[in-house]
Structure formats: C-alpha cells, structure tokens
Structure 1
C-alpha cells in the first residue's frame, strides 16, 4: 500500500493492556479504540460485581486511552455498549449520562451471550475523531457535526447522526414509530422495515442518499429470523438506479443478540460515506469522492453484501464465516481451523485490493464459546507482523451455518478513493 499516510498504534499504562490488541489505532481522521472491560488497570482485575461500577470503569478506561493521545471524551463519535443483561441498561445510563453530559455520541446497545472475562457485565468500545490526522497529514480543525431529526426516533442518551471528516455514523435504530416513540406491532419483517425507514429518514434529514451507506450491522434475537430480515433488507438495497446498475450493496455483519432494548426482534446501525466532509473542509460534489466496492472469488461471495467497501481513507470488510470459498461450505470443525479460515478469507479480500493484514485497524470477533478465545488468539496473532489492530470480542448464542466464529474488520486505505489522493 501507499505509505503516504501512516497507521498510528498506541498503548497507555493507565488502561488495561493485552497481548492480542492495541488500545488505540489511529488512521487519517479516525481513531479506533479496543473494547474496554471493567478492569482496574493497576491490578488487571475486575473492578467489582456491580454493574454501575463496572460501567464507570469501562468509561474511565476509555477516557484514559483518549487522554493519553491528547484527545478529550467529547471527541467520541460512536460507542457500542455490550451488556450481559439488557435490564442493566437503565443502571448503566445513570453513569453514562453523567459521563457524557450533553455531548452524546451515536450509540448501539446490545445484550450478548457472554463477555471475555468471568463476571463482566458490560463492555464498551468507541470510535473517536482525529482532527490532526496521522503522519504526514497536516492537522486540521475539522468540526464534529451532531444532528437529530424528529422524523426518526430520538433518544436522550444518543445522537442520531454524528459526522466527522468523510464519514458519518448512525445510532442503532430500533423498530420504533417516531410519532409514538413506541415499538411497532408486527413480525420481524415489519420490524426490519421500520428500522431501515428510520435510518432512511435520518439520512434524508442531512441530504444523504441511502446508497451512501458503506457498512450495515444487523443485530437480531432469533437465528431463524434471518430469511425474513433479508426479505425486508433487499427491498431497500440497492436504492438508486446507479446502485442497481452496479448491484451495489454495503458491507454487512449480522449478530445474533441475546436481547435488544425494548424487547425488539431486530436493531440496525450503519456507517455512511460523507463526500462533502465536515467544516471547514470545502463542500465538494458528493460524488467527488466515490464509493469503491470490490469482490474477489478467493473469498466467499454473497448477494446480500459486498466483501469490501472503500470510501476515502477507510475500507470496511463484511463479516467472514469459516467458509471454503470454492465449495461455499464450512468444511473445518475445530475452533483453530475455523479461525484460520475466517482470517484467510479476510486476507484474500485485503490482498485483492492490494493491501495486507497489517493495514487492518480494527477487528470484531464473535464466538459461540467465549472459552475458545485462547485457541483463537494462538491463530490470530500469526496473521499480523506489526502492531495488532484494536479489537472487540463478544460471545453469541449462535452464528450462521453453525459456525463457531465470525470475524469482520476495518482496513486503512492510504490511497483514498478516486479522485481523492
């Protein structure tokens, strides 16, 4: 890849350090922070068994990392909160609201089957703005643009859309009627449709077309609902004549959640390209920077997602199952073999766009058995030669095709996408 822009990986002793990830990995105008457990950094142990104290420790660890790179918590663009018990979210929010006060990022909340540390009740990861860019970019005083519309559900704990530089992150949308602010009645197909309608309303409020979405994350409660979800999903993508001509669909990850807020069956968040950038960047033709989508036959293909979708200086990789791309089947059984196959698929995608594994800035891993993490790590670290990416690991109750593991990634893209240089 081009070395015009350099990935910057950093750790601080004021937050927990692990051998399998880097706390903070910056590239261009964004910085990816590894998921933080409620670990006291000096002892390396869980802070307590009480969820409020655990939530506060997660946020303190995040703040320590952010401060260590000369940023402030107001630079946080997006936060994902993983909980063991969805009913804990009210207790967590009492801490969360005090921490963020009036500067709420976009947010996704999901209950998961397990977390990487015994007795951990909560885990959080964040994405932060990085106005100074990474070497040799010159620092620039870009503004964060946080916006809400009444045409989609509002939440006092999150902002619907937060843009920075050439990306825009949308808070997870539940199947809520924005007029009543209540969950709609209906099956999972109708709930999926409502989630996507809410996302569309948010995008329309900031004059962004639906096909500017580059990554979609779908959280659903029942594995058997995926066909019904896809039925609704395909009525929204592709959205425009240009997208239909190119059969464009975003990169995608699906997660089977243990539970979702309000008892919903499905929840969706998205990442959006933002061609005009944020002030004081000059407003350009929205198509002046183009989305670059790519597939390779060396990794599994899907009609529902594009393997890799690049925009500006980032590239989003669809979640990879341990599928043999030639047979399109899961042909290996052990967690070590399945981990290797997932990572080989990611490697094939990354290499197909003339990048390498060390260009990855963030990795997200789903495991059916959280106890498999040690075996995963033995394989995982062999795929990288330099500083490891930021990372988030969660335990889930099920994974598509009865797989034991699924992995997605975000890749640095120093060359940018045309016509950006």
Structure 2
C-alpha cells in the first residue's frame, strides 16, 4: 500500500476506551473521533455532578484524544452534541465556550431518547488532519481551514455555518430559521423543511458551491411520522440541476428521530458537501475537477430518495441501513441481534460493491430503539469489526423507519480517491 493513504486508528490512555472502537480513526485529511461520553478514563465511570460536569468531561476526553495525535482543539471542524434533555443545552454551551473561545467549528445539537451508560450528554468531533495518512510520506501539512458565514442564513456565535478543509465543506445543521427575523418560520413541517434546505442552499451559494455538490444529508425529525411530508419537500430540492436530474443524483441520507430540537423546531438538516477546489495550498482545480461517484447495488436495499454510497475524493459516505432483506424488501425476522446483523450485511454489500472491504470503514453510527439492546448489538458488531478499528457513535432513539430496532450508517475510506473529470 506504499503511496496510498491508510486507515490510522489510535487510542490514548488519557481518554476512555472500550475495545469495540478506536478513539480516532484517521484517513487522508480527516480524523474521525468516536463520540465521547462523560467517563473518567481513570475510573471508567461516569463523572459525578450535573450536566456541566458531564459536558466538561466529554470535552476533556476529546481534548486528550486530539492532543494525543498532535493536534489542537482549533483543528476541530465539526462538533456534534447529543443531550437527553434539550433544556441542558445552555449549560453545555457555557462549557463549550471555554474550549472554543475564538474559533468555533460547525455544529449540530440534538436531543435524543437515550445515551449509553445513562449519560446526559455525548459529544463527538471531526478533526482536520493536514499531514494526511500516506505511510511515511506526510502530505500538505499546511492546508488551511476556511470558515464562512453569510447573512443569508442564520448565524450563531457558537458555530460557523461552514468549515472547509481539504476537499470537504462541513455545514452546521440548519434549523428552519428565517435569517431576516432570526425566528422559526411560521407553518408546519413542510414549511420548516423548505426553510432548512433554503438555508443550506444560501450557505453553499455564498461559497460558490452548487447544491448538487452535497454528498450526505442527515435529517433530524421530532416525529418520524412527518417523513412523508419532509420527503415531498425534499424531492423539490433534489436533484437540483439539469445535470443531476439527467442521472437522477441524490445524496446519501440518514433520517433520525430526535427527542427534541433547538428552539422547538420539528426538523433540522445537516449536510456534508464536496469541495472540488480543495483548500490552500492544494492546487486550484476546476469546479467538479474531482468527480462525485454515486453507487447502488441490488445486494442492499434501494431507495429512490437516497444513494447507497456517494464517494468524493478519499471518502465514501453511506446512507443509513435498516435491517431490511434486499430480496424481500422487508425487515428481517428475529430480535435486535438479527436486525443488527442484517444492517451490517447491507453495509458490507454496499462496501464490497465499490471494491472495498469493511477494513476500510473509518466511522460507524448506530441508532437503537432500546439502549439496553447494546450488548446484543455488540455481539453482532464484533463479527464484522473484530479489530474495533472504526470510530463509533451510539445513540438511543424512540422510533425508526419500518419500526426497526436498529439503523446503522458508515463513512468509508476511499484510498484511490475519485478521478478528475475527463
């Protein structure tokens, strides 16, 4: 593999470890960190105290991991905060400000039904990695992180609308806020979905990036029954251009039910966007100089509103996989272990369809209806990831599509990258 990027998984004694995941899995120009619980690494137990003490421990764990790979907190490009009680966000923010006093990354905040070990908060980070992961061959170690805000979308002192690094733009999750009034738009979930997508579009236009450069969309809904209404609006935005319509391009997608969202919103949408130009000092390339590769296989469930995997540069972004048998189109019989196996089989089928293997997975996101099922899920998980290499996130949700017990998505390395447009 000399001359190619390699997955670099690392752990430090200064942060909690569990044997099922790596604290950090780096590939090319990004470090993917496992979501951090408020666990004291010395005791292996949740810290005593309220939400502020828990948030501080989460950030201390992230800081320890970041420093163990010779980075600093300002190298973080995205923070995701999961809380059990949306009312705790203000307290979390007080702690957050002490770790990001000047530069603020892109950010997503969601209240979920449950978190592992009964924690009140869980925080994860995506970190820039300028030196890359070609063995013994440091890449452009002086890549510049580009931040941008526009008045045409909601602004916040706690987050940057988009943070670009290397070949990706990482957008803060967009609420259905009218940027002119600073308030939620009037109307039902359709109006809210349209506003959230308009905000994303405004951010992308402000950095001269087309809407169809989105490679992954994450939708957080407070009521999964609203999915059909959201999809109706979503279909008006994707595909966006005549080129995308000609090939019926839609991004990879994950839909998650949230227990609550900031400002009492019904929907919040997060986007990961390709950045063909790269960030300096990478050589300036023509727009779409690196091609977006979208792929579906019959060996995994197909959905007309999402692509199973979308590759750009050195990453493949997978849509969330439910425990659906692709032959029958139905949820498999059995309990959560059987459902976890099917979800992972679907991921494996997608990964293999693009000539990769599960060893190339750098991040796994698991959503379970019952957090108490996690032991059974882990039994299935170990068979697919025996080395525990990928970084991991686990959250409890109260509902999943098709009344499934589990849903899993993944980010996969793409050593060969995607080609230049001919």
Compute the TM-score of the two structures, normalised by the length of structure 1: 0.98
1:353 equivalent to 2:354? Answer yes
1:138 equivalent to 2:138? Answer yes
1:237-316 alignment, distance < 5 Å: 237-316=238-317
2:224 paired residue number: 223
How far apart are residue 386 of structure 1 and its match? 3.7
2:90 paired residue number: 90
How far apart are residue 49 of structure 1 and its match? 3.6
1:188 paired residue number: 189
1:29-178 alignment, distance < 5 Å: 29-118=29-118, 120-136=119-135, 137-140=137-140, 141-178=142-179
Q: Separation in 2 of the partners of 1:155 and 1:374?
A: 39
1:391 equivalent to 2:386? Answer no
- Any idea what the Cα deviations from partners look like across 1:156-195, whole Å, max 9, x if unmatched? 1100000000001000000000001101110001100000
How far apart are residue 310 of structure 1 and its match? 0.1
How far apart are residue 3 of structure 1 and its match? 7.2
**Paired residues of 2:321 and 2:347 also in contact (CA < 8 A):** yes
Q: Separation in 1 of the partners of 2:318 and 2:3?
A: 21
**Paired residues of 1:2 and 1:415 also in contact (CA < 8 A):** no
Q: Which runs of 5+ in 1 are unaligned?
A: none
2:328 paired residue number: 327
How far apart are residue 385 of structure 1 and its match? 4.5
Q: Separation in 2 of the partners of 1:135 and 1:212?
A: 26
**Paired residues of 2:322 and 2:406 also in contact (CA < 8 A):** yes
How far apart are residue 283 of structure 1 and its match? 1.3
- Any idea what the Cα deviations from partners look like across 1:17-55, whole Å, max 9, x if unmatched? 111110000000000000000001000111124000100
Q: Which runs of 4+ in 1 moved over 3 A?
A: none
- Any idea what the Cα deviations from partners look like across 1:185-240, whole Å, max 9, x if unmatched? 10001100000000000000000000000000000000110000000000000000
Compute the TM-score of the two structures, normalised by the length of structure 2: 0.98
**Paired residues of 2:20 and 2:387 also in contact (CA < 8 A):** no
Q: Separation in 1 of the partners of 2:355 and 2:139?
A: 27
RMSD after superposition: 1.1
Q: Separation in 2 of the partners of 1:386 and 1:60?
A: 26
SS of residue paired to 1:320: coil
Q: Separation in 1 of the partners of 2:399 and 2:318?
A: 21
